[in-house]
Structures are given as structure tokens and as C-alpha cells.
Chains A and B, each alone.
Chain A
């Protein structure tokens, strides 16, 4: 059945176990305020700096189910809103993740919204102003979102391709919380926690990360993410030597430029 074939990844759940999240600034407070005021939120920041983890944490904290949609360029509005299916000669309507979230008062997280087709992003417009409604064209329905429903999108500004950019009419419907890599001490704490290594190794990883991040926009598109530092930490935790661990986690993933790679390798052997 084509239904199973769809690429869409949907994870729907109520988070029962407290996710590990270390607050960096006032983001928890701001998010809660937004939630109380029914404001949609845009999380901006580089890849791998804790946006997804933050949303999971907030969903747990606010005790709301979390529905995540990873956006991609084939995502259509039916994929979000829902569609009719034929089952045994009968037609049944199946809600899409967005509709499900609107009805059940969940937090709906559209990850990497820029990846979605422009005509898809428009369906969220009426949901994100004070009307808070979701039109379901095919059924001729308008669903009013419950107060608990919250829409979150994530967006990596980077330097964007001219082919993909978030339209102003879309982005100006959200309040934006900026994410960046955590400050040194906190990042050490996060890496230690996530990868089960000694704090002093985590500290060296953070020093290395900081040095590599100095190269952002000077030949590197993005600095190494917290996620990559954690990967390196996890490999080290598994007994891989730090040089190899950092090489596989931090050289190849960030650049193809051979001289840049060599320079990063030298940084690794300077730190470890």
C-alpha cells in the first residue's frame, strides 16, 4: 500500500520519561510564556545545538504529546492535514499529523521547515495567527485549535540557498528563540552526561569544538555541532582513541576541503 511507502516520519508520543535538557538561557521561561499565550514558536539555530531536545523537554514539562514532522521537499499539504483512504470499499478519512495535533492539543514540531515545499507551508498560516484554525478543504471543515495546541518550527539560518528561504509572511507569524552552541561549561556538562566520559576529556572536546568554530564563515559553513562533539565523546567512551574519534566525528562531516581537513587534524593533535 502506498500509505506505508510514504517517506514521512512521524513520531507521536507523550513523553513520560524526563528528557535530559540543560537550559542555556531564558528559553524555558519564554517557551512557557508563549505556550500560555498560544503563540507559535520558531527555533532558530545551527544544526545539532539542542533544538529538538529542547522541544522534547518542553513537551514533557508541559505534559503535552509531541508530534514531530521532519519536513522534506516532497511533503504535501495532505501529508500534514490528512486524506481519504479506501478501506474495503469504504472511504475513510485519516487525519494527518497536524490535524491530529490540532485536535488533541499536542505540540506539533515541524523540523527544518525550509525543506518543505512553499505551497505546503501555507497551510499553517491560519493556524498561526489569532484565528488558530485549520481548514480541511476536502471535508469543508474548519477545526479550531484547542488552547493546548502549539506549533513549533525549526529553522537553520546558516547562509541560505536562494532556492530555499522562509517567506517573510511565514516567519513573521512566529516568535523566534535563538539557539546557539552552549557556553563552554554547560557544553562540557552536556557532553559528559550524554557520552559517559570523564569531564576532562569532555573539556578537551569542547576546547577543540571552540577552536574549530572559530573557522565558521572563514572556510567552514558551520562549526562543529554539540551533536558531533557528543559523537566523538561516545566513540571515546567505547575505547576508540581520541585522535580517531575526533577525525571521524569532526573532520569529514564538516568539510571536503583537503587543506581545511588537514588544519582541523592538526588542531585535533594539538588538543589531544
Chain B
């Protein structure tokens, strides 16, 4: 701290001298005098740097020395200026910022040379502060929170994406990679939050998914008025904008009108968000231009925006636009009084466009965006809506096929219409409702099938379940679907002598024949190539927060000494049981011998094996994330002390089923195992039956009360030969049933976006979860394990 003893000051000075290598500084400069040209140097003393550094706390000082050394390696003068300014800089920056500041200076130095590098550290400007400060909240840091937030709001999947621009295409929400409007992260977070809520509302209240029928009059009107042709294959929204001579003006007006409507709905749905929006609207206001300084067309739009949003206008409204703007404001207010739709907004856009179009002659540029409202991108919306429609149509077509129904001719068109009738665009899920809306009648035979299935299930489970019908429908559909899939081409390979050598042979289930094909598959245990030893540590660093959390959670699961009552032997007498026995004796009943309490630590007698899909389809993200998840899992298991093993599998045809040993039950979690985890890689195909059977036999040798087999895969079992479709699914199912018979509990984690329908059948009674986003895996895997074993 400042004001310390001279001894202390000397110490700092010595340290700085060590780093800087000299004690006087100041740029070489050239002085012209009568006597000629002189070089001068060294006008500044190290003391200026010392003065600054002595004011710092010791820990901070250490960090500052480190940074200074980095700079001194390049240029000691630059480092000197850094030391001089650092105390000042620390008034604005935290240590992370300091690092960024230094990095930036180094970049400067490397790009432009030593003088700019030195100048960079001579002082600290407002711009630098704004640029550097970590206040800027990175999207990366809060993406998961925002994803959870929007998932909760919408109940569906909307992806959060980083982008230069702010908008939504109805499937993704695009957000800036960094927000730094405010000092605090908390306020910057509010920016993200409001944008996300706003985009959610645009989707929820259908800003962009206009109903072509409701809008046909408006479209016809524009077509005639401006002699323009409707372009096919565009979303209604894009078509609508294309019909205006000045598309941008139309978009800007629509944006004001429609967002007002959306915001009204949003704040009615959620009262609290209003506070956040108002908070932001203040900075938005500061950024708005003066209408009087804009060309008339832009002035009209700007004044319209300001009046409708803030109820006032910055400065004067140009005389010419005053009346049309007032009229537009009135029209909007009227519209908002009722229960308006986006189609109403579009119709009003036409009216206001007509009020403003006379000003277009003065030139027109896009209105600056209102931060949280973002932009509207009609072409992007077309693409996204088409994709959603296609997915929906596929789903319906599938269902229709599964149920053996007659699809209507213009199914695609009808689906678009029906989609527009669904109340909540985020809930496209209820297939039956959809079928009904499509006016597709379900014939009696199909109902019979469904009813039989219901009865069977009732008999099986004896449950009255509201969602039963949907489930039954699904499975009734599956029966039909299986028939379709079975028609795929089949071919088999033969097992030769050399294939069998040194291999474990396993049967395979032939569901069509209803029997096993004996010794059908040849499986070999293999070692995996070792990978980067640092992978494990890197993964831990990457997920540090999560790792800490996992450690804490598993800490709590650690077996404690537990008193087991009513035991045959033990170190204590169970008084309750003893008295009961006494009383029994007195009553003439043979008493129980179980009158002891045993203290036991071996409560968690669990052995778990992870079986990881290393098939080719996992290349890239999936395999990398699987590996990370395994690392986190190991961290957790090491704390728990449960027995565990890790295996991988892949292969090609029944000749070559590869079973990779990554960690066996009796192996320690050592550097070698870690390197093997890092070495896990994507190989060939997914024949799931043999590795499951092999692991089942490994388990037989393992003494444990609870045996858990956790399978990580990324979709359907599939091999190069006939092992696909139904055959693969049925064999896998059978292998899982075999495991269960041996008292092994399989649990399957599938990373898959689509194929949910086969999964429930394949896994049958086996528990499973499906992740549609592989990024959830590192978090999910330990969580699943924790829940499964407590």
C-alpha cells in the first residue's frame, strides 16, 4: 500500500529494475538546434513507475509484474509505460481486463511497431476502457441460461446463436456475441434477456408467420396498385414486402406497428418484463436521431416511432410530416385497442406506407434499429418457415402412413393452412389434433387395431392413463412402419475360419424367424490408441464450474456408515428388535434371531460400465462431447468409489465387432486410462448387440449388488450389412433383455434429433433418455448417474 516504508519502495524499485533492465526512459527524439542535430534520451525516471506500482495490493502486484514481464520481453520502454499507467488502469479494470488490455497493446506493438505500442500504454482513454472492459458480457457466458430461459418460456426448442445482427427467423434467435452497454454484467444481461423475451414473443404471437388467406385481399390490393407480381415460393411475409416499391420503408413501418402489438401482448402475458423493457428504452431513447435532421421520409418514420413508443418526439417535427405522422399514430392506437393480429399489422402498414410514400422522393435509408426489437429479415424467415413446414409435413405423412390412412392430395398445402390455425405456433406437437384438423378420417380397422393395443396395455399395466391414446397410436403406427422398413435390401457376410480365431462368438436374434442365429458375430477386444495426455486436464479446466458442482454433489453421495437394523449379527443390539423378540418369547412365539445392528459401509455396492458408441456417425462434435462427458463422469466416480469400467464399440459386419477397452473394472484411473479416453475416436458402424452381450458376460465376473450398464449412442443401430432397420433394433432390444435377465440394469442415453419413434420400442422396459443437443451430455451424464444410484 501507499505510504509504506522506504524499504518497501526500494523493493518494488529493485523488482521493476530487474524487469525493465534500466532506470531511465523517454523516447529517443531528435532535437534540432543551431549546433546541429542532437539525439536525446532518457528523460523519464523509473520512479514514476515505482510510484504507481507501490500503491497496489501485494497479490495484484504480482500479477502486474507478470504482465509487465510479457511486455518487457518485447520492449522495455513499453513495459515502463505500462507500469506507470497500471494504477490508473486498475481503477477501471479488473485483472481480466488488465490481461485483455496488455494483449491488445501487444497486438498494437506487433502490428504497428514500438512507438504506437508505447503510446498505447502511456495513458488510458475512454475508448480503451469501453473496448476492453469485461463488463462487456459475452454471449458464451450466458448462453445456457438464456437457452433455459427461452425453453421455459416457449416450451419448445429455440436455438440461441451468436451473430452480428439481432433478429429471429422463427427457429433461431440471433444475439450479439457481446453486450457492453452498461457497467455491470447484470444490466448487460438484461439486454440479452429482453431481446430473447422479445423474440420469443414475436414467434409466439406470430409476427412473421402470416396467414396467406387472411392477407389475400391486402396482397391483391398491393399487386394492382403497384403493378407488381407475386413471386412464388416465398413466405407470405416476404411476398408482402416484395410488393412495395420501397421495401425498406414497408419493413420499417411494419416493424413499428407489429412490435408495438407484440410488446403489448408480451407485457400482458408477463408483467415483470415491462420493467426490463422500460429500463432499456431509456438508452434506446438516447440513441435515437433528431427527426428534424433527417430527410422527410426518414423523419416521418422516426417521428412515428418516437411518438408511439415514448409519446414524444426529440426536437421539432418537420411541418410537412406532422399531419401524416399524427394520423399514423392514431391508426396504430386504434388497432392496439382491439385484439389485433399480425395480419392487421400488415394491413395497417399499407395504410401508413401510403401516408408516407410521398416523402420517398427525398431519399430513404433504413431506420436505425431499436436495440431489443432487432431487425426483420424476410428472406431468412422464408427459409426457416419452409423448414418448419417440411418437418411438420413429414411428421404428418409418417403418421398417416403408419396408420394406413389415405393421405389427401394436397397434403402440403393443407398442412400450411392447418399450421396457421394452431393456436400456439410453438406447440406443433399434438399429432391427433392435427389429423383431425386435416379432416383425415381414421377408418374403423385402424381404430380396431388401436383399441386392441389399448386393451393389451390395460391388461399389462392395469393403468388408466390420459396420454395412453397417443402412446398407443404411436405403437400402432410403429407396427405398420416396421413393415415398411423391413423391405430394405439385405445382405450378409460369411464368417471365415480366420474371423473366428481369437474372437468371442455371440448369437444374434433373428426376429423374423423368431430364433437366435448361433455364434453369428465375432467380437474382439481391442486396445485403443492413446491420445493427448492433457485432454483430461483441459476438459476439467473447460468445465471447471460444472466439475466443482459435480464434485460437491457426489461428495454428498459418498457412502457413510449406516446402521442396518434387524441383522443376524452385528456389533450392537437392536433394542427395538430385541424387545420385540422378548415379547414374542413371552407370548410363546418363536422369536426372530435378527436382533443386532450392523454398521456397514458397503451400502453402495455398485458397479457401472459405460459403453460408448464409437461409430463413424459420431465424428466431430458427438465424439468429442462424449469424451468430455466421460471425463466428468470419472471425476465423479473417483469421489464416490463405485467400481467402474469404460468400453467403446464399433465395427463392420458380423466378422468384425470391435470392443475397445478404455478402462476395466479393476484398473486405476491413471495417466494411461486418461490417454485412452483422449484416444477414443470415431470408427465404423454401430452393431449394438454383440458389445452389449460381451459386456453382459464381463459383468458376470464382477461381484456387485447393483450392476449398471450405461450405453451412450447417437442413434439407430446400423451396420454395413443387413444389420439395420428392424433387424438391428430387434437384436439390440433382445440383447438388452438378456442383460436384464442377468440382473444388469441397462440405461441408454441416445443423442438423436429425430428418430424418437423406434427408440421406445428398442429400449422397451429399459430406461433411457434422448438428448437432442449433444452439448447437454457432459452435464447430463453425471446427473443421470446420480439419480439412478440414489
Contact = CB atoms under 8 A, between A and B. Distances in A.
B14 interface: no
A162 B745 contact: yes
Interface string B581-600: 01110110100000000000
A193 interface: no
Q: Closest 8 interchain pairs by CB?
A: A84-B583, A263-B148, A176-B463, A91-B586, A91-B587, A214-B155, A211-B152, A84-B587
B384 to A, nearest CB: 21
A270 B273 contact: yes
23 contacts: A2-B576, A6-B576, A78-B580, A83-B583, A85-B579, A159-B767, A159-B769, A161-B790, A162-B789, A163-B706, A176-B462, A176-B464, A176-B465, A178-B463, A178-B466, A217-B769, A256-B553, A263-B146, A267-B152, A269-B276, A270-B272, A270-B273, A272-B272
A54 B306 CA distance: 56
B594 to A, nearest CB: 10
B787 interface: yes
Nearest to A272: B272
Interface in A174-225: 174-178, 180, 204, 207, 211-212, 214-215, 217-219, 221
Given A162-B706, A162-B708, A221-B787, A138 B589 contact: yes
B151 interface: yes
B443 to A, nearest CB: 28
Nearest to B467: A178
A178 B747 CA distance: 25
Nearest to A85: B583
Given A211-B152, A215-B148, 17 more contacts: A2-B579, A83-B583, A83-B584, A85-B579, A86-B579, A90-B586, A91-B587, A138-B584, A159-B767, A161-B787, A174-B462, A204-B271, A221-B787, A257-B779, A258-B545, A259-B144, A269-B276
A20 interface: no
Interface residues of A, number: 55
Residues of B in contact with A, size category: 35 or more
B271 A271 contact: yes
A268 interface: yes
Contacts of A44: 463
A158 to B, nearest CB: 8
B274 to A, nearest CB: 10
B583 A259 contact: no
A44 B465 CA distance: 10
A207 B154 CA distance: 12
Given A84-B587, A177-B464, A272-B271, A162 B788 contact: yes
A59 B466 CA distance: 24
A79 B717 CA distance: 49
Nearest to B578: A2
B269 interface: yes
- The secondary-structure label for the interface of chain A is mixed
Contact of A178 (B465, B576, B788): B465
A160 to B, nearest CB: 8
Contacts of B587: 84, 91, 93, 138
Identify whether the interface residues of B are mostly helix, strand, loop, or mixed: helix
Nearest to B705: A163
Contacts of A61: none
Contact of B549 (A5, A91, A258, A271): A258
Interface string B160-188: 00000000000000000000000000000
Interface in A211-249: 211-212, 214-215, 217-219, 221
B8 interface: no
A144 interface: no
B131 to A, nearest CB: 27
Contacts of A163: 706, 789-790
Contacts of B788: 161-162
Interface string B457-487: 0000111111000000000000000000000
A16 B144 CA distance: 51
A230 B575 CA distance: 42
Nearest to A217: B769
Contact of B462 (A83, A175, A269): A175
A123 interface: no
Nearest to B575: A2
Given A162-B745, A269-B276, A259 B145 contact: yes
B149 interface: yes
Interface string A252-264: 0000111110111
B193 interface: yes
Contacts of B154: 214
B226 interface: no
B622 to A, nearest CB: 19
Contacts of A11: none
Contacts of B789: 161-163
A8 B275 CA distance: 50
A267 B152 CA distance: 8
A267 B465 CA distance: 31
A215 B151 contact: yes
Nearest to A44: B463
B296 interface: no
Interface string B768-790: 01000000100100000001111
A218 B276 CA distance: 26
A109 B78 CA distance: 79
B197 interface: yes
A258 to B, nearest CB: 7
Given A84-B584, A159-B767, A162-B789, A74 B276 contact: no
A220 B324 CA distance: 53
A162 B746 CA distance: 10
Contacts of B769: 159, 217
A56 B149 CA distance: 37
Contacts of B153: 211, 214, 267, 270
A6 to B, nearest CB: 7
A174 B461 CA distance: 9
Interface in B254-278: 269-273, 275-276
Contacts of B582: 86
Contacts of A93: 587
Contacts of B464: 30, 175-178
Interface string A15-41: 000000000010000100000000000
A162 B465 CA distance: 24
Contacts of B745: 162
A260 B144 CA distance: 8
Contact of A263 (B145, B708, B747): B145
Contacts of A156: none
B694 interface: no
A266 interface: yes
A260 B148 contact: yes
A271 B553 contact: no
A76 interface: yes
Nearest to B548: A258
Contacts of A271: 270-272
Contacts of A30: 464
A180 B566 CA distance: 38
B565 interface: yes
Given A162-B708, A214-B155, A262-B145, A207 B575 contact: no
B589 A266 contact: no
Which residue of A6, A91, A139 has the most chain B CB atoms within 10 A of its CB atom? Answer: A91
Contacts of A174: 462
A2 B273 CA distance: 57
B776 to A, nearest CB: 8
A263 B270 contact: no
A211 B149 CA distance: 9
A270 B790 contact: no
A93 B588 CA distance: 12
Contacts of A6: 576
Nearest to B765: A168
A266 B151 contact: no
A1 to B, nearest CB: 8
A223 to B, nearest CB: 10
- Residue in B464, B565, B706 whose Cβ sees the most chain A Cβ within 10 Å: B464
